[in-house]
Amino acid sequence: MKLFSRREPSFTRKPKREIPAGLWTKCESCSQLIYNKALEENLHVCPKCDFHFPLAARQRIALTLDEGTFEEWDADLIPVDPLQFSVPEPYPQKVSEAQRVCGMTDACLTGLGRLDGHEVVLGVTDSRFMMGSMGSVVGEKLTRAIERATEQRLPLVIISGSGGGARMQEGVLSLMQMAKTSSALMKLDAEGGLFLSVLTHPTMAGVLASFATLGDLIIAEPKALIGFTGPRVIEQTIRQKLPEGFQRSEFLLEHGLIDLIVHRRDMKAQLAKLLSDFTH
């Protein structure tokens, strides 16, 4: 005989309510759950720890340029598959999926616009498109933008959000974009042109090792991950513990790699001030 018996509850247990998907975002810096509407109203900056989330290229353009002034260049350039790359999936398939998700032909937008009245050439890379990796199209679009800035004697602003470096699916054709963009910037500098480079989370690998660190002034958003390769890979290679905050904007400002750290809400005003200071 059982000493105790389990009685069925006299009430009906209500099913647990699920939180609808897509309403909240977890901060990758402090793990705070943030209501998406509040995050959007705060310019995609964590209200608790001030971590700056990556922005889509068109969001970045809207925050940077005067409304309605952006004229896109070279929108018809699309990537090809020179190596018939197929591991782990065919390259054209991967590109098509990124195009569908991002609404862009590749990981970069370039064009002409006005920033607080100043006419500028603008380039923006987008980490949503294959981690913002630099293939032939990204390199070509940026090079053309740099050359037009040189020819038209206009200031150049490039906002980097690229965590993928050179795009392996294009092999050496991708790697050569590092030299091509750097060479174009050398000519811009020789002609006395102004280049403001803005580094956002993340800016890594071949992008950092080429055009992103060749600015006359290098500006970064707070807490952005900036480096050639990730900290875990470096630790495993050198078998040493890295300093706290290694490869974050604040550490790199202290050690001289960047010139300024500017909050997203102040970025347009700061860029406008720099344009006024250096172009008049």
Lowest mean pLDDT among 12-21, 78-87, 179-188, 252-261: 12-21
Neighbours of 176 (CB within 10 A): 14
pTM score, whole prediction: 0.85
List, for residues 150-187, the tens digit of each pLDDT value.
Answer: 999 999 999 998 877 888 888 899 899 999 999 999 99
Q: Would strands 118-125 and 156-160 be described as parallel, antiparallel, or unpaired?
A: parallel
For residues 44-55, give the mean pLDDT: 90
Q: Is 109 a residue whose pLDDT tops 90?
A: yes
pLDDT confidence bin for 2, thresholds 50/70/90: low
For residues 25-43, give the mean pLDDT: 89
Q: Is 9 a residue whose pLDDT tops 70?
A: no
Domains of the chain: 21-51 (no CATH), 54-279 (3.90.226.10)
Per-position b or e across 13-41, b if 16+ CB within 10 A of its CB: eeeeeeeeeeeebebebeeeebeeeebee
Q: Is 244 a residue whose pLDDT tops 80?
A: no
Q: What is the pLDDT of residue 7?
A: 59
Going from the C-alpha of 242 to that of each of 227, 239, 260, the distances in angstroms are 13, 9, 23
Q: Is 19 a residue whose pLDDT tops 60?
A: no
List, for residues 200-214, the tens digit of each pLDDT value.
Answer: 999 998 888 899 999
CB contact set of 110 (below 8 Å; sequence gap of 6+)? 72, 73, 74, 121, 122, 123, 124, 141, 142, 144, 145
pLDDT, the chain, mean: 88
Q: What is the pLDDT of residue 96?
A: 92
d(CA 253, CA 249): 6
d(CA 48, CA 80): 43
